[in-house]
Amino acid sequence: MRGKQAPKRPITPDSKYGDLDIAKFINYIMKRGKKNTAQNIVYGCLDIIKEKTKQDPRHVFNKAIKQVSPLLEVRGKRVGGANYQVPFQVRSERRFTLACRWIIEAAKVHKGRSMQEKLSAEIMDAANGEGAAVKKRQDVHRMAESNKAFAHFAR
């Protein structure tokens, strides 16, 4: 790694709910600097969740993030000419980032509906412990569990 690490920039809470996590999620949805479009997608998604579940959409969103966030992940490590998949604990910032990424990817796979509808369906599925994003988390955990024998290579 050359030079200094870029400083972490402070992020402002979103305008509608005043929530930092939703503001970060909007930034993950955003493409080519079109923040207004990303906000419309996320706020529309949260409105759909509110209509369907009759609950606070922030509560459902946070529950979904918690369900999808991985506790362990595997990283490749080269030891003596062999590559091992070594399980590591996941830091909290990366946990949130991976959860958001997996939810967005799972929503993009579905075809034929608007992004708001696809995203709301995926978030509600994740909050209930089902859906493609939760399956991805289980796959990552299963991979870490099967490579537990190499955990001693983690430092």
Provide the CATH number for the domain around residue 115: 1.10.455.10
22 half-sphere exposure, CB direction, 13 A CA radius:
22
**Amino acid 101: pLDDT:** 96
In terms of Cα–Cα distance, which of 77, 94, 82 is closest to 154? 77
Q: At what angle do helices 92-109 and 20-29 cross, to 10 degrees?
A: 50
Q: Quick check: is 6 in a domain?
A: no
Q: Quick check: is 76 in a domain?
A: no
Q: Report the percentage of the chain scoring pLDDT > 70.
A: 98
Transcribe the chain into DSSP letters.
--SPPPPPPP-PPPTTT--HHHHHHHHHH--TT-HHHHHHHHHHHHHHHHHHH-S-HHHHHHHHHHHH--SEEEEEEEETTEEEEEEEEPPHHHHHHHHHHHHHHHHHH--SS-HHHHHHHHHHHHHTT-SHHHHHHHHHHHHHHHTGGGGGG--
Domain that holds residue 46: 20-70+91-138
In terms of Cα–Cα distance, which of 97, 121, 89 is closest to 108? 121
- Write the pLDDT tens digit of every residue in 101-153: 999 999 999 899 999 999 999 999 999 999 999 999 999 989 888 887 777 77
Mean pLDDT of 34-56: 95
What average pLDDT is seen over the chain? 91
Q: How many domains does the chain have?
A: 1
- Write the pLDDT tens digit of every residue in 76-99: 888 888 888 888 889 999 999 999
- The structure's pTM equals 0.89
Q: Quick check: is 119 in a domain?
A: yes
**Amino acid 145: pLDDT:** 85
**Amino acid 119: pLDDT:** 96
Please name the residue that has the structure tokens 């509608």: 16
Q: Quick check: is 148 in a domain?
A: no
The answer to whether 113 and 107 have CB atoms below 8 angstroms apart is no
Mean pLDDT of 53-64: 94
Q: Quick check: is 38 in a domain?
A: yes
Q: Quick check: is 15 in a domain?
A: no
Q: Quick check: is 52 in a domain?
A: yes
Q: Quick check: is 126 in a domain?
A: yes
